[in-house]
Amino acid sequence: MLERISGSLLDPDALYASNIGLFHSPELRGLNMVMGFTGFADAGQVVRQINAELLDSPDAEPVAVFDADQLIDYRSRRPHLSFVEDHIQDYQAPRLALYRLMDGLGKPYLLLAGFEPDLQWERFARAVVGIVEKLDVNLVTWIHSIPMPVPHTRPVGVTVHGNRPELIEGISVWKPTVEVPAAIGHILELRLIEAGRGVAGYVIHVPHYLADAEYPTAAVAGLEYLGAATSLMLPSDRLREAGREVGRQIADQVSASEDVQQVVSRLETKYDEKAEGTVRRSLLADENDELPDADALGAAVEAYLARENPTA
């Protein structure tokens, strides 16, 4: 049962209603938290795909639900509904909530997922930092994606930031010093660092010519980086299969146009020239600096289970 915490309207805790029994349960203490907000950039619809994949689980249980009426500008971001002949149905109310989930090995973790607030960023940040402190969250990771002039024929790149050097050093393929538009994830990262909490943000690089489409390959990469950072076995099989199908469609489109082939070729040349001589580390990379496929991840799980249950 969700219950709103008492307090004034200026109280950050008044922004959400919590599942009292679960919120105060010892089993929620010390978990890792993943965050994904839709509405900012989201090239390749990476965040939307990751949130949908993680929440498509019978184990998903709301811990806290934020009050959309206080955080959304409905006139600038209108929700959708269906008009069916002579009646209205399927109103898609905006939702931003914290969930307790289980990974592929039955390990619990937290997911803060939903729309990026339009309003009250600092108050929302105080609310989230307060939750992180009350639950003594071990590590907060968050994901977003941006369009980049990179070819789809090369590994998906990532830029990592935060205050956990072991999760950052040697991984980022793009380390600029630039001024960029802020997202709520950036504000949360700043406030979490100020509060002395561990946090790491992952920016997935999506080929700019695929930024407006759903690009599952980039979502898989995002799940792999989040999973490696948090030691979680996050689901990706359906996105992998979808990525293979999208890859075939892209290959057909490229082969059908000489102009597109030339564009991709130029991007490959620039990518390879920049990458030549550099050494990048991936948390999941093998000796060839390649991320494992589903079979390799499955083998890793079996090895883990064997170590945990040697007599099984």
pLDDT in tens, 268-310: 999 998 875 454 544 444 444 444 444 444 444 444 445 444 5
140-148 and 199-207: which strand pairing? Answer: parallel
What's the confidence (pLDDT) of residue 194?
98
What's the confidence (pLDDT) of residue 171?
84
10-residue stretch averages of pLDDT, the chain, 312 residues long:
57 95 95 96 96 96 97 94 95 96 97 97 98 98 95 94 91 79 96 98 96 97 97 97 96 93 94 67 44 45 46 46
Find out whether 202 and 142 touch, Cβ atoms under 8 Å: yes
* DSSP summary character for residue 47: H
What's the confidence (pLDDT) of residue 169?
85
What's the confidence (pLDDT) of residue 182?
94
Domain limits for position 239: 2-308
pLDDT in tens, 105-119: 999 999 999 999 999
* DSSP summary character for residue 174: -
Query: Which two tokens mark 179?
Result: 């001024």
What's the confidence (pLDDT) of residue 71?
97
Residue 13: give its domain's CATH number: 3.40.50.10900
Helices and strands, counts by H and E, the chain: 10, 11
> Which string of b and e fits 163-199 if b means at least 16 CB within 10 Å?
ebeebbeebbbeeeeeeeeebbbbbbbebbeeeebbb
- How many domains does the chain divide into? 1
What is the dihedral sign for C-alpha 180, 182, 188, 191? positive
